[in-house]
Structure formats: structure tokens, C-alpha cells
Amino acid sequence: MSRPALPPFHPLQSIPVGNRLLRRREVELKTGKSRAAIYAAIREGTFPAPVQIGVNSVAWLEAEIDLYIAERLAARNQSTTQAT
């Protein structure tokens, strides 16, 4: 069974007030992806890139991670609908 082609990641242009910054561990827990898988997907352009928040610190916008998850669910739902 082949995976459906996913659209390239589209970054947010504006940030709603109250949007959180998630550190890598939170992103791993929220998405179920490992650190290696996250950075590989960033290089492929299929996962949101982090935001530099310090000299040696990065974080991800929660809204972008939520959008990433929503896109995966939509792709799954579309493939499930097409299979029936």
C-alpha cells in the first residue's frame, strides 16, 4: 500500500495571540515522531522548521505543529474514503 503524496509544508504568515512555542520534546510527544524523524522531515520540507529562541535553543510554533497533524489526518481520511 503506497502512502498518499503530502503537500509541502506551508508556514504561517501571522501568529495568533496566545500561540505557544513548543520545545523538541513536546513536539516529539505531540507528533509521535523521534528527533531524527523530525529533522529528516524538516530537511525534506514536509515538517515545520523550528524558530531560533536563543543561541542554542529552538522551538516550534504550536499552531504549525497542529496544522501538520491536521494535514496528516486529512490525508488519512481522504485515503480511507477513496478505499471504500
What are the grid coordinates assigned to 45, written together? 520540507
Kindly report, residue by residue over 10-21, the tens digit of the pLDDT.
Answer: 777 776 666 899
Q: Report the mean per-residue pLDDT for the chain.
A: 88
Query: First and final CA of the chain: distance in angstroms?
Result: 14
The ranges assigned to domains in the chain are 21-83
Kindly indicate the confidence band of residue 7, based on its pLDDT and cuts at 50, 70 and 90: low
What phi and psi values does residue 62 have, to the nearest 5 degrees? -60, -40
Task: Using alpha carbons, list the distances in angstroms from residue 57 to 45, 53, 54, 81.
Answer: 21, 5, 5, 41
Average pLDDT of 17-35? 93
Kindly report, residue by residue over 61-80, the tens digit of the pLDDT.
Answer: 999 999 999 999 999 998 87
Kindly indicate the confidence band of residue 53, based on its pLDDT and cuts at 50, 70 and 90: very high
Kindly indicate the confidence band of residue 41, based on its pLDDT and cuts at 50, 70 and 90: very high
